[in-house]
Amino acid sequence: MEPENLTHITEFILLGFSAEADLQPLLFGLFLSMYLVTFTGNLLIILAITTDSHLHTPMYFFLSNLSFADICFTSTTIPKMLMNIQMQTKVITYEDCITQMFFFMLFVGLDNFLLTMMAYDCFVAICHPLHYTVIMNPRFCGVLLLATWLLTLLDALLQSLMVLRLSFCTELEISHFFCELNQVIQLACSDTFLNDFVIYLAIGLFGAVPLTGILFSYTKIVSSILRISSAKGKYKAFSTCGSHLSMVSLFYGTSFGVYLSPTAIENSRASAIASVMYTVATPMLNPFIYSLRNKDIKQALRKLFS
């Protein structure tokens, strides 16, 4: 018997990580702690950068925007999951699901492009230091940020509107802790060819192109560092972009681990568990990476607290 076609649905079911009641308080405490650390850590980074005039440079301008995107990124998914655990429900309305998908894709896209811009900033600082202030001027940085917002906004809007054209069946269970685009599309009874095509096109434009730019930038950076004769000069040059390289490795490493892992592809529950690494762990660790490896951020935080 074929599943019933329901064009107008009212809600989805988020299965989350576990149906065992004994684990729910543990999950609630764990994710609440991670969310609070993420929110507080990134907020402190933003405050430190905005209040310290020495940090009003392109690198820290992009970092503050990355911290803002990470706060919004986690706030899109974690509070809803915590509320569902607290209220012992797994329901999310159709409207809330579409809204969550839109903001999730928006802030993931922002993260992606901001990491690319920070890689370009490192490239100019190390490979073209004499022209750095001319190239990375405030107007250029503002235009880059505005273009990033417009591109990611259009992509998230298009992807969300494409979901609205789909009709769904009686099987409305999402094996995830939030409305992940691929998971929702898999529940559709109508033809999803156009949706899949737009997703692959977006991955190519907004995924492969920024990643290629990052790899190109770091290839040039490493080549320039290796040409430096003194060990002290090499260390100073690497420390300039060491924190950003750690963030890039963490973000893309966990993302590829989720979407390219055979286990995650075959098992949607395994994908949900693995996706915690880039949706929760990466935004939480970013402030620690920058505050522990960066003397300027440490000094700004000391001034902020004093």
Domain CATH for 242:
1.20.1070.10
Residue range 104-113, pLDDT digits in tens:
999 999 999 9
Residue 1 lies in a domain: no
For residues 204 and 42, the model is more confident at 42
Q: Mean pLDDT throughout 212-236? A: 84
Residue 2 lies in a domain: no
Q: Is residue 254 predicted with pLDDT exceeding 80?
A: no
Domain that holds residue 183: 8-305
Beta 5-6 vs 173-174: how paired, if at all?
Answer: unpaired
Residue 32 lies in a domain: yes
Residue-averaged pLDDT of the chain = 86
Residue 218 lies in a domain: yes
For residues 225 and 19, the model is more confident at 225
* Among the ranges given (132-146, 164-178, 206-220, 221-235), the one the predictor scored with the smallest mean pLDDT: 221-235
Residue 3 lies in a domain: no
Q: What is the pTM of this model?
A: 0.90
Residue with tokens 């929760």: 280
Q: How confident is the model at residue 232 (pLDDT cuts 50, 70, 90)?
A: confident
Q: Is residue 171 predicted with pLDDT exceeding 90?
A: no
- Counting the structural domains of the chain, the total is 1
Residue range 26-73, pLDDT digits in tens:
989 999 999 999 999 999 999 999 999 889 999 999 999 999 999 998
Q: How many CA atoms does the CB half-sphere of 220 hold within 13 Å?
A: 15
Residue range 85-136, pLDDT digits in tens:
898 888 999 999 999 999 999 999 999 999 999 999 999 988 898 999 999 9
